[in-house]
């Protein structure tokens, strides 16, 4: 049970940190883009300027969507054994990533299947690198044997 608690605590804390980081990044990116748009408009260029509400909503929606992904990916660890949860979460992560990629591909008038596959591959690469870093850290930082 201690291992499950460690997984849930680190997943939730990491997910919350990620959600805050994503939302702040989106907000600052949109603020910067808005400043550029205002400058272009002042120079007489035809451009659409994001409203302050759009900028704020971008940050809020980024936070909420990251939290939703966290909930989807952490839920198996609450109800299932750890080994099954790891496999299920990996599959869910690939499905979420490819779905988002397909949506982005469709919205940007690119091939949705190709873009979805690209997102899925990036998710697998990210998971693999994260796992490798975790393995490396476990050799450096002693972990109690009853947690493993």
Residue 131 and residue 137: Cα distance in Å, rounded?
10
Pair 24, 67 in one domain: yes
Pair 62, 111 in one domain: no
Pair 6, 60 in one domain: yes
Pair 110, 45 in one domain: no
Residue 35 and residue 49: Cα distance in Å, rounded?
8
**Section 5-20 average pLDDT:** 87
Q: What is the pLDDT of residue 2?
A: 76
The share of the chain scoring above pLDDT 90, in percent, equals 45
Q: Which of 73, 102, 128 is the last residue of a domain?
A: 73
CB 36 within 8 A of CB 55: no
Helix axes 112-140, 82-107, angle to 10 degrees: 140
Parent domain of 109: 80-148
Q: Which of 73, 89, 112 is the last residue of a domain?
A: 73
Q: What is the pLDDT of residue 1?
A: 52
Q: What is the pLDDT of residue 139?
A: 86
**C-alpha dihedral, 60 to 61 to 63 to 66, nearest 10°:** 180
Residue whose token pair is 């966290």 = 70
CB 49 within 8 A of CB 38: yes
CB 106 within 8 A of CB 58: no
pLDDT in tens, 68-125: 999 999 999 999 999 999 999 999 999 999 999 999 999 999 999 999 999 999 999 9
**Section 13-39 average pLDDT:** 88
Pair 29, 93 in one domain: no
How many domains is the chain built from? Answer: 2
């Amino acid at each position: 049970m201690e291992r499950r608690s460690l997984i849930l605590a680190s997943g939730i804390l990491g997910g919350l940190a990620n959600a805050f980081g994503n939302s702040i990044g989106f907000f600052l990116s949109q603020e910067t883009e808005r400043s550029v748009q205002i400058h272009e408009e002042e120079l007489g260029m035809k451009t659409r300027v994001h409203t302050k509400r759009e900028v704020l909503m971008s940050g809020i929606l980024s936070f909420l969507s990251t939290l939703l992904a966290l909930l989807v990916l952490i839920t198996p660890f609450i109800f299932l054994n750890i080994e099954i949860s790891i496999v299920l979460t990996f599959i869910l992560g690939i499905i979420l990533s490819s779905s988002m990629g397909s949506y982005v591909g469709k919205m940007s008038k690119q091939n949705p299947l190709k873009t979805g596959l690209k997102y899925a591959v990036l998710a697998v690469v990210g998971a693999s690198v994260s796992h490798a870093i975790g393995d490396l850290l476990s050799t450096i930082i002693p972990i109690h044997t009853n947690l493993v």
